[in-house]
Amino acid sequence: MNAEPADQIRLLDVQAFDARLQQLAHKRRSLPEHTEIESLNKDLTQLRDLLVAAQTEDSDTAREQTKAEQDVDQVRQRAARDQQRLDSGAVTSPKDLENLQKEIVSLAKRQGDLEDIVLEVMERRESAQERVAELSERVGSVQGKIDDATARRDAAFGEFDGEAATVTKERALVAASIPADLLKLYDKLREQQGGVGAARLLQRTCQGCRQELAITDVNEIRSAPRDTVVRCENCHRILVRTSESGL
């Protein structure tokens, strides 16, 4: 393949643009905020699961407390009716009177037991509510950290993407002045060779693979016409000759 020396040199400009785009993409992928956000999101998921469990316990104990209080109220009302019957003197039979008194005693004990249950449920509900409050605060704190890290990440994205857009436009302008077949070869090699398709030959060393060329290769390149597109025998990238090539 043949191409004007100036076109070959412009490949180095395109390569520089592509290298910068690679750097920007790497910086974008390597932002510490990515790991930070991922870790915080894991924490947030765990905290939300715990919060849901605490909220469920709060709801369950609320229903349990309501039921227990209703049971106490029923026993209290029944005991009040029995006491009213006893106080009214309507019960005259000694046996019925004894049974009524026993029932009042039994209901008093039952009421005491149920009130203990209410207190126990209230304590559990209070503990659940405290847990809900604590976890809600922690969820809010972690969410705030996520929002902060996301804002920092997005700000960095904006800087990187803005520069990348500028570099892409500049690359397009230079690439448009390079023959299509040469640019196509460069792009193919760049894809195959880890992002570097053209390299400067500097003091007989390929700047793509950093290998010094054999003397026979140097002699071949030295004798090749200036418009001949030469390749590195080691890495097969396009070698661009300049006044500093050592030829």
- Using the Cα atoms of residue 124, residue 126, residue 129 and residue 131 in order, give the sign of their dihedral: negative
Of 175, 190, 225, the position where a domain reaches its end is 175
Amino acid identity of residue 155, one-letter, is: A
The pLDDT score that the predictor gives to residue 229 is 97
The pLDDT score that the predictor gives to residue 93 is 86
pLDDT along the chain (247 residues), means of 10: 95 98 97 98 98 97 96 94 86 83 92 95 97 98 98 98 98 97 97 96 95 94 95 96 86
Closest by alpha carbon to 143, among 211, 47, 49? 47
Amino acid identity of residue 103, one-letter, is: E
Q: Is residue 113 part of a domain?
A: yes
- Residues 75, 77, 79, CA angle at the centre, nearest 5°? 65
- The answer on 80 and 149 residing in a single domain is yes
Q: Is residue 247 part of a domain?
A: no
- The answer on 195 and 101 residing in a single domain is no
Model pLDDT for residues 184-210, shown as the tens digit of each residue: 999 999 999 999 999 999 999 999 999
Q: Do residues 33 and 153 make contact, with C-beta atoms less than 8 angstroms apart?
A: yes
- The answer on 96 and 15 residing in a single domain is no
CATH number (domain holding residue 56): 1.10.287.1700
Helix 94-175 / helix 5-29 crossing angle, nearest 10 deg? 170
Collapsing DSSP to helix, strand or coil, 194 comes out as coil
CB atoms within 10 A of CB 87: 9
Of 133, 152, 175, the position where a domain reaches its end is 175
The pLDDT score that the predictor gives to residue 197 is 97
Q: Is residue 207 part of a domain?
A: yes
The pLDDT score that the predictor gives to residue 237 is 97
Model pLDDT for residues 86-118, shown as the tens digit of each residue: 888 887 788 888 888 999 999 999 999 999 999
User: Rounded to a whole number, what is the distance in angstroms from the first to the last CA of the chain?
Assistant: 20
Write out the residue range of the structural domain in which residue 220 sits: 5-25+179-241
Q: Which two tokens stand for residue 119?
A: 């207190």
Rg (CA), the chain: 42
